[in-house]
Amino acid sequence: MMNELLRVTNLTKRFDAQDDPVVNKVSFTVNPEEIFAILGPSGCGKTTTLRLIAGFERTDQGSIQLKGKTLECPYTHRSPEKRGIGFVFQDFALFPHLTVMDNVIFGLRDIPKSQKTARAAEMLELIGMMPFSKRKPHELSGGQQQRVAVARALAPRPEILLMDEPFSNLDAVLRQTTRDEVRRILKEARMSSILVTHDQEEALSVADRIGVMENGSLIQIGTPEEVYYRPKTKFVAQFLGRTNVFPAMASGLEANSNIGNIMLDRPARGDVLISIRPEHLTLEHTTPANTQGISGVVLNKEFKGHDITYHVKLERCNCIVHTDNRMPFSVGDNVVVKPLEPAVVLDKS
Ligand code: ATP
């Protein structure tokens, strides 16, 4: 393909010959300047995939190509330092006794000494840390340390940057500002990257595309909007955020379900499983004139400031509905639940 930078094909890794593969026929591509997130629960094989790409592990099957050159396959193994790949670790791994400037210079091995300071200064400008160049890591906030770790990995101008849970050691507020800042830095440096995370909000807000991983396999690859609004499976639907999953009887673009008759995103026939996000449902007070939708009773209310989540008891099941904060219902209210969007038909798996 014309534009791809990295191609991973059928990558497969077992740590024990008897066990199931930890990474199972994983295939994806990363384009120039793209931020690609691998998202999945703990133990699904994300870190192992990243370590295979970095060259810290050997693959059993499949291949990894960077700019068309094979880095890894069962018969080829280019050593990590010869791959042109940068790595940012979860714990930042800065040297505590070196200044910010010297930490960044440390990453520069193959350029003349005279150019090292200028290159490091350029990186510190990019991350907005030049005023802190003489500080030691312990004199920085966690977010600043993480930006220095990114600058150090970017300084040798790698072809691609790999980041393993880079924000997980930061508290909630710092995590959000640091991830916004790191996205800006990557885009400004026009750097391709792979971000490994178990945090769906992080993947949705930072990445250009997301690969969702379950038990060693990539289940779905798409833009944040595609994986969130058009999940392929129940696992993807539930991992990407809260949702309602119901069995339904489909006939074409409509189905009969526990939340009444509902439109579908694609034609289907017979027994299907559907997902509808809570923000794609709405509530109205029950009145004699309200004949559309399905009746229920408000069981519980989570007030979250900008919006409210209601748990509603229906005749055959419960559902969750997000509304904005101008729709105040109380526990015990009789309501009518109405879909605002078609439900997504999930693959059976
Ligand atoms: P987490 O988010 O918890 O780090 P992960 O998705 O990154 O999880 P991996 O670290 O890739 O998952 O681990 C996947 C599986 O492989 C786990 O069951 C783990 O115990 C196993 N594993 C990882 N490294 C090794 C190893 N060196 N030897 C044996 N098993 C390993």
- 231 and 276 both lie in a single domain: no
Query: How remote is the CA of residue 47 from the centroid of ligand 1, in Å?
Result: 7
CATH number (domain holding residue 302)? 2.40.50.140
Query: How remote is the CA of residue 43 from the centroid of ligand 1, in Å?
Result: 5
- 129 and 25 both lie in a single domain: yes
Closest by CA position to 238, among listed 211, 278, 281, 268: 278
- 156 and 67 both lie in a single domain: yes
Over residues 135-158, the pLDDT tens digits come to 999 999 888 888 899 899 989 899
Residue 17 sits at φ, ψ, to 5 deg, of -55, -30
| Domains of the chain: total | 2
Whether 35 is in the pocket of ligand 1, judged by its Cβ within 6 Å, is: no
Is position 202 within any domain?
yes
Whether 40 is in the pocket of ligand 1, judged by its Cβ within 6 Å, is: yes
Of the residues 209, 238, 267, which one is the last residue of a structural domain?
238
Of the residues 195, 217, 238, which one is the last residue of a structural domain?
238
- 248 and 227 both lie in a single domain: no
Whether 143 is in the pocket of ligand 1, judged by its Cβ within 6 Å, is: no
CATH number (domain holding residue 66)? 3.40.50.300
Pairing verdict, β 209-214 and 35-39: parallel
User: How does the average pLDDT of the chain come out, rounded?
Assistant: 91
Is position 1 within any domain?
no
Of the residues 186, 211, 238, which one is the last residue of a structural domain?
238
**Spatial distance between the Cα atoms of 135 and 146, rounded to a whole number of angstroms:** 14
Is position 327 within any domain?
yes
Query: How remote is the CA of residue 64 from the centroid of ligand 1, in Å?
Result: 20
Q: Which token pair is 348?
A: 């059976």
- 227 and 256 both lie in a single domain: no
Can you give the pLDDT at residue 349?
A: 63
Q: Which residue segment(s) compose the domain that 284 sits in? A: 242-346
Is position 233 within any domain?
yes
Whether 47 is in the pocket of ligand 1, judged by its Cβ within 6 Å, is: yes
Whether 268 is in the pocket of ligand 1, judged by its Cβ within 6 Å, is: no
Can you give the pLDDT at residue 1?
A: 47
Residue 281: how many CB atoms within 10 A of its CB? Answer: 24
- 314 and 341 both lie in a single domain: yes
- 112 and 218 both lie in a single domain: yes
- 230 and 287 both lie in a single domain: no
Give the up-direction half-sphere exposure of residue 275: CA atoms within 13 A in the CB hemisphere: 22
With cut-offs at 50, 70 and 90, classify the pLDDT of residue 294: confident
- 25 and 145 both lie in a single domain: yes
Can you give the pLDDT at residue 112?
A: 85
Tell me the whole-structure pTM to 2 decimals: 0.91
- 46 and 186 both lie in a single domain: yes
- 250 and 307 both lie in a single domain: yes
- 184 and 315 both lie in a single domain: no
**Spatial distance between the Cα atoms of 118 and 304, rounded to a whole number of angstroms:** 48
